[in-house]
Amino acid sequence: MTATDEMLDNLGLAGPGSIRGRLKGLGALMGAAAAVPTTQKDDDTASVKSQTSRPSKVNSDSDYHKSVESLVRSFLPDRRVKLGAALNAVGMTPADQAHEITSLSAISVEDLYALPNAPFTQLTPEQLLRYAQIVDTALFKSYLVVRPILAGSLFRVPNWCEVEEVEGVLRARGMFRELKDLYHQKKMHRKALELLRQLGEKEEDLDERVYDSVQYLRKLGPGDLEQVFESARWVIEQNSDRGLEIFKSEDVDLPRNHVADYLEKISPLLCTNYLEYLIQERGEVSVDFHDRLVELYAKITLEARRKKEENLRQQTYDKLMTFISTTTHYRVDRLYGLLSSEDLYEARAILLGKLGRHDQALELYVYRLQDYLKAEE
């Protein structure tokens, strides 16, 4: 076995189905890295597959680690920078495309073997991309050998790591935070959130159970709205207060009507909390949101009375009374139409007064409420 093969075996890059097993040129790449002194600079147009000399056989762990160290210090970072510049020049970046590209394992063996030994400037965008996948994946596995503490840093920045090659390693080593970062960079949000849910379910404290999921979901924007709604449901079931925090993010602004619709289907009370946040903390002045909030107050009050939930009824009715007495951003006639047949007499009296129907308001105060002081007002 050559030094190159031994290094690849230990790095987990050799064998059937692996990158090394599918691409002959990777052995040359790794061998060149071991042979090039750390002070030597490669020409900008040097091929990833170029090999300046034959590596000597690695006879000890010390020699092996020195060889891998040379990969980490010079060769792979240098290739990573140059490949990144070449890909950026043709409009390809990991942030935009890493989650959409075909994995190496899905490419035919013939196509991978056909990758040319040529300067970067002569490679097509797809060929550059394949080499970028190989280099980033090799850098990660090299870190695991000589600097494990740095392995996760690669996933906190845009990268071309081959997910299928590294996710199993991360799971086996219990590097779940790094795995979450990898999924996030690849925009594989469903997998990231499923991982966070699995980890959270092991926590006994409800806040701790959902904390990481909440923080992740708060950063997803309108383009991932369906995923937010899907994953938020579990959080809300565990802890509704923490679940509501997902929709109070200052980093992104999700479509408010859609969020209100979603929350109302789960819990009208949760929806009122969200609408209160919009109006009181975000300065929402839309009549539609004010109408929706005050109508929910009325519906919750009536439903709580029907179920004999006196504390909830009184609490919500107090909010209703304060709202209609102090706010002008709602349609009075619309709300009165909703309450006209209900026995919420004081609320109806206030609304009648706002509509200019003072005689009818007076009748409610005198004959229904028997509140003569308010009648005189």
Does residue 352 form part of some domain? yes
* Integer Cα distance of 150 and 163 in angstroms: 18
Distance (Å) of CA 251 to CA 56, 78, 84, 227, 282? 53, 34, 28, 17, 13
Taking the alpha carbons at both ends of the chain, their separation in whole angstroms is: 99
Give burial (CB, 10 Å; 0-12/13-18/19+) of 262.
Answer: buried
Does residue 217 form part of some domain? no
pTM of the model: 0.78
How many other C-beta atoms lie within 10 A of the C-beta of residue 120? 20
pLDDT (tens digit per residue) in 140-178? 999 998 888 888 899 999 899 888 889 999 999 999 999
Does residue 214 form part of some domain? no
| Among 123, 124, 135, residue whose Cα is nearest residue 94 | 135
Give me 361's structure tokens.
Answer: 């308001």
* Integer Cα distance of 42 and 141 in angstroms: 22
Residue 339 makes CB contacts below 8 A (sequence gap 6+) with 298, 347, 348, 351
Does residue 351 form part of some domain? yes
The tally of domains found in the chain comes to: 2
pLDDT at position 65 over 70: yes
Does residue 173 form part of some domain? yes
| DSSP states along 120-165 | GGGS-HHHHHHHHHHHHHHHHHHHHHH-HHHHGGGGGS-----HHH
Last residue of a domain, one of 166, 185, 204: 185
Distance (Å) of CA 308 to CA 215, 303, 304? 37, 9, 6
Determine the pLDDT at residue 190.
96
* Integer Cα distance of 333 and 352 in angstroms: 9
Residue 328, phi-psi category: left (phi > 0), alpha (psi -120 to 50), beta (remainder): alpha
Does residue 298 form part of some domain? no
The gap from C-alpha 24 to its chain's centroid, in whole angstroms, comes to 37
145 vs 115, residue with greater confidence? 145
Determine the pLDDT at residue 7.
44
Residue with tokens 């990969």: 71
66 vs 220, residue with greater confidence? 220
Give the pLDDT band of residue 283 (cuts 50, 70, 90). Answer: very high
pLDDT at position 256 over 50: yes
Last residue of a domain, one of 156, 185, 214: 185
Residue 90, phi-psi category: left (phi > 0), alpha (psi -120 to 50), beta (remainder): alpha
Does residue 165 form part of some domain? yes
Residue with tokens 């999700």: 254
Last residue of a domain, one of 167, 185, 203: 185
* Integer Cα distance of 182 and 188 in angstroms: 8
Residue numbers of the domain that contains 90: 1-185
Does residue 113 form part of some domain? yes
Range picked from 10-14, 67-71, 79-83, 96-100 for highest mean pLDDT: 79-83
